[in-house]
Amino acid sequence: MSELYEVSNSQTDIPSEPNKVIEPIMHLTESTLEHFLQKGIFDTTTSDISVENRINKQCLDRFRKEFSNNLLKCLKEQDFEYGVDTPADKLVRKMFVENESIAKEWLNELFVENFNDQTVIIGLLRVISHFDYQEVAPQGPTMALAALSNANAEVRECGIRAFENWSNLESLKVLKHTKCDEEWLDDYLKQVIADIEEELEDHVVVG
C-alpha cells in the first residue's frame, strides 16, 4: 500500500482473507450450535477444521438470507444521528452477539457489494463507527479506509468520522496520510487529526 491514501474520485480494492476460519466452535452461541445440530451439519468422521469451516459457511449463508435485506432496508429508510442507536445498529449488535467474526465478514461483504450505493455505504459506516475499534477490526477500519477514496464527499466524510470516533493511534496514522481536495473537508480532517493528537497526548500524560 502506498504511503498516501489519496481522497479523490478513484475507488480502491478491499482486501479479503479467503479460506479464513472465521470462528471456532467453542465461540458459537448455544442457539447457533442448536441450529446447526438440527440441520445435521456435524459429522464426526470429519476433522474439527472441516466442521468449523462448514459451520462458518452455513452461518454466513444464514446471515445473508435472514438479515441482509432487513439491514439494507433499515439503512435506506432510517434517519441516522451520530450517538443514537437506530434499528440498523440494534440489528448489527444482535448479529455480533451471535457470532462477532462472521458478523464482520457479513458487513464487509455488504459493503463491497454496495460500494456504489452511497446511502448504504454511509449507513454502514455510521453503524460501524458506533462500535469500538477492536470490535470491528480489521474489517471495519478497512471499510472506513476504502470510503476515503469514494467519489462522494459525504461518504469520505463518514470515513473520516469513523476514524474520529475510534480516536486511536491507528486512526491517526491513516488520517495523517489522507488528503482532501474540498476545502471544507480538508479543514474538518485537520481538526480531527489535531483532536486525536491532543487526546493521545493526554493519555500519555495521565499514564
CB 158 within 8 Å of CB 122: yes
- Measured N-to-C along each axis, helices 139-147 and 169-176 cross at an angle, to the nearest 10 degrees, of 20
C-alpha cell at 160: 473520516
Higher pLDDT, 7 or 154: 154
More confident residue, 82 or 73: 73
Residue at 47: amino acid letter: S
Model pLDDT, residue 134: 95
pLDDT digits (tens, 9 = 90+) for 143-195: 999 999 999 999 999 999 999 999 999 999 999 999 999 999 999 999 999 99
Domains in the chain, ordered, with CATH? 5-206 (1.25.10)
* DSSP 3-state of 179: strand
The DSSP call for residue 26 is: G
Residue 56 is predicted with a pLDDT of 86
pTM value is: 0.74
pLDDT for the residue 33: 53
Phi, psi of 24 (to 5 degrees): -65, 155
> What is the per-residue pLDDT across 98-118, written as a single tens digit (0 to 9) for each?
999 999 999 999 999 999 999
User: Which one is predicted more confidently, 84 or 98?
Assistant: 98
Q: Which helix (H) or strand (E) holds 6?
A: strand 5-6
Q: How far apart are CA 125 and CA 89, in angstroms?
A: 11
**8 Å CB contact between 150 and 8:** no
